[in-house]
């Protein structure tokens, strides 16, 4: 599935590197890894601090049918692939998991994240959509995240971390198993994995709904991948945006 892998020194952003090459015959499965990024980007317009040498900055190009029923849930599956792949190298404590939709968490500290960008090059009738999928993982430098959130890294979680190339190899191997399954079967086969890694389950969270900021208890995800939150008799489904945990 991953036919070409480029490992570059320091570039602005691995997502940008691939998206700039979409019109130049880039083939699905192309992977770009950088030692460091000068303009690393996170979700919701945030920066992704990317000091050289310490962490994983990886993007790949992939296509999915425009008609795929669970396109927006892809990001959850990428997070699950990261955890499933890495845990084959070293078990994780139970405190490691995902904060919906795709923050890699240990306790309440973030150690990685995923940025998926969708491109429409051709006509809207093009049966496939182009996706650039970016994965950032703190390996030995916990300061590589926006200062607003608590952060950690894999070497702190595990006590030591293998070479980045070893981590990347298991990640790509797991992605090559999960992505074709997601393409054919959607999110359904991944729901039990999510349950095992859900770091928000039963926690009080705040989120923004059309009617304003709401607080409720997180209750897993819907079959489509939305975060379910209960507030009294009301059940919300959160489809986008950011969710914050409360310590009650």
What residues line the site for ligand BTN (CB under 6 A)? 13-15, 37, 40-43, 46, 48, 57-59, 103, 113-115, 134-136
CB closer to ligand BTN, 78 vs 229: 78
Q: Taking CA 241 as the corner, what is the angle to CA 126 and CA 97, rounded to the nearest 5 degrees?
A: 100
- Contact of 227 with 237, CB cutoff 8 Å: yes
CB closer to ligand BTN, 43 vs 84: 43
Point out the residue whose Cβ comes nearest to ligand BTN.
113
Q: What are phi and psi of 31, to 5 degrees?
A: -120, 140
At its nearest, how many Å lie between ligand BTN and the CB of residue 117?
A: 9
User: How far is the C-alpha of 219 from the C-alpha of 206, rounded, in Å?
Assistant: 13
* 172 closest CA partner among 92, 65, 59, 34: 59
Cβ neighbours for 64, distance < 8 A, ≥ 6 positions apart: 71, 74, 128, 129, 131, 183
Helix (H) or strand (E) holding 216: strand 212-221
At its nearest, how many Å lie between ligand BTN and the CB of residue 230?
A: 26
CB closer to ligand BTN, 57 vs 236: 57
CB closer to ligand BTN, 40 vs 85: 40
At its nearest, how many Å lie between ligand BTN and the CB of residue 44?
A: 7
At its nearest, how many Å lie between ligand BTN and the CB of residue 98?
A: 11
Cβ neighbours for 94, distance < 8 A, ≥ 6 positions apart: none
At its nearest, how many Å lie between ligand BTN and the CB of residue 42?
A: 3
- Tokens for 158, please give them: 């595990």
CB closer to ligand BTN, 21 vs 46: 46
């Amino acid at each position: 599935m991953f036919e070409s892998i480029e490992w570059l020194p320091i570039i602005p952003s691995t997502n940008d590197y691939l998206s700039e090459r979409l019109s130049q015959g880039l083939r699905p499965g192309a992977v770009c890894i950088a030692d460091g990024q000068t303009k690393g980007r996170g979700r919701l317009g945030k920066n992704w601090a990317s000091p050289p040498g310490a962490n994983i900055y990886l993007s790949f190009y992939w296509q999915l049918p425009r008609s795929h029923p669970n396109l927006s849930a892809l990001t959850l599956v990428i997070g699950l692939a990261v955890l499933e792949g890495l845990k084959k190298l070293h078990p994780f404590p139970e405190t490691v998991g995902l904060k919906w939709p795709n923050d890699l968490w240990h306790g309440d500290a973030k150690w990685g994240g995923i940025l998926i960008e969708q491109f429409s090059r051709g006509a809207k009738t093009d049966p496939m959509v182009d996706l650039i999928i970016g994965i950032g993982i703190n390996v030995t430098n916990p300061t590589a995240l926006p200062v607003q959130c608590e952060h950690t890294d894999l070497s702190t979680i595990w006590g030591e971390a293998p070479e980045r190339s070893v981590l990347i190899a298991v990640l790509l191997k797991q992605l090559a198993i999960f992505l074709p399954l997601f393409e054919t079967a959607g999110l359904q086969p991944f729901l039990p994995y999510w349950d095992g890694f859900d770091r928000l389950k039963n926690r009080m969270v705040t989120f923004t709904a059309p009617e304003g900021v709401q607080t409720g208890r997180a209750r897993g995800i819907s079959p489509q991948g939305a975060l379910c939150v209960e507030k009294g008799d009301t059940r919300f489904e959160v489809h986008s945006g950011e969710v914050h945990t409360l310590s009650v």
